[in-house]
Amino acid sequence: MVKYNRDGDLIVSCAKDQIPNLWRADTGERLGTFHGHGGAVRACDISFDSKRLLTAAADNTVILWEMETGNKIFTFNHPAPVLNCALAEGDKKFASCTNKFMQIPAQIFIWNIAANANDMSSMPLMNINIGEDRQVHGVRWTSLNKRVLAYDNVGCISFFNPDSGDLLETHQVHKKQIKDVQFNREKTLVISASVDMTAVVSDATTMRELKKFETDRPVNAAAISPIKEHVFMGGGQDAQSVTTTSGKSGKFEVRLFHMVYQEEFGRIKGHFGPINTLAINPDGRSFVSGGEDGYCRLHHLDQEYFDFYKDEEVAEVNVE
């Protein structure tokens, strides 16, 4: 996973090498590393004030770090490898998820985060059992922390009450496994990426499908631009087949679509393995992608990108 902080001047990346990295978002210079995990780091999240970092790993832990020093603040132990973590608005809680592991069912955990490490507990506030036939791949908090969103291996997005653990509703958004879910800046729209070769933009409250983007490759990551009506998508054929495939035929480009017209207007090459993660800078002027090839690629969008569709927009305004 790659993640920008709220100000857009820092990037955190995490991968199978067990060491999350902190980078400058303007130059790509590495500022530091976070040492402490004993397994592949699957996900990360950054606090609103950029002072704390949360990382989830296959070593059955979620670690809370001090961003400036790289020191551990607290370790949250889980009964199984942790797939994802997400801070709640206000940074007072976070959610994490694990899949079925031996006799332990797939679960979502809700944890409390205190201002002082001495006040934190290794016991979660809530355990939510998912069931035998379902695997959860990620969790997100909806607006104002009203619900916890979970996406799974059968193409469903489910909503849970974070206080009671009750399942509120489930929506079949895709036909196959969902790999990524991201909100737009206002959290009114949600975009989901799936191995069924589609990305879907839905209303974040009702989950009504608004737009569907169909491709010829599995979609592993998708994001909505904060300043333009554009969608960024990345993916590629399965990693196990990549060794016999060239970068061109593997289809590892980042693809740019207009969110309203649903037409593809650009591709950005560079990776020679499937793209696993995408994040757009909060200012909308750059983005970073992470791939199975072991690289994070930082892209600063040029003026041509910002001028695109300008003629159409002016024409529409004149007609009105």
Residue ranges of domains in the chain, CATH in brackets:
1-172 (2.130.10.10), 188-320 (2.130.10.10)
Q: Please give the order of strands across the beta sheet that includes 286-291.
A: 275-280, 286-291, 296-300
Confidence at 188, pLDDT banded by 50, 70, 90: very high
- Give the pTM: 0.91
CA-nearest of 119, 25, 141, 12 to 65 is 12
Confidence at 195, pLDDT banded by 50, 70, 90: very high
DSSP for 233-276 reads EEE-S-GGGGGGS-HHHHT--EEEEETTT--EEEEE---SS-EE
Q: What is the pLDDT of residue 309?
A: 67
Share of the chain above pLDDT 70, in %: 92
165: pLDDT strictly greater than 60: yes
Helix locations, the chain, DSSP H: 247-250, 303-307, 310-319
247: pLDDT strictly greater than 80: no
Q: What is the pLDDT of residue 307?
A: 86
92/101: higher pLDDT: 92
277: pLDDT strictly greater than 90: yes
Q: What is the pLDDT of residue 320?
A: 40
User: How high is the mean pLDDT of the chain?
Assistant: 92
Supply 310's token pair: 């300008």
Chain-centroid distance of CA 63 in Å reads 18
Q: What is the pLDDT of residue 250?
A: 59
Residues 6+ apart with CB under 8 A from 49: 6, 91
Q: Name the least confident of 140-154, 237-251, 293-307.
A: 237-251
CA-nearest of 95, 85, 63 to 162 is 95
Q: What is the pLDDT of residue 318?
A: 39
315: pLDDT strictly greater than 70: no
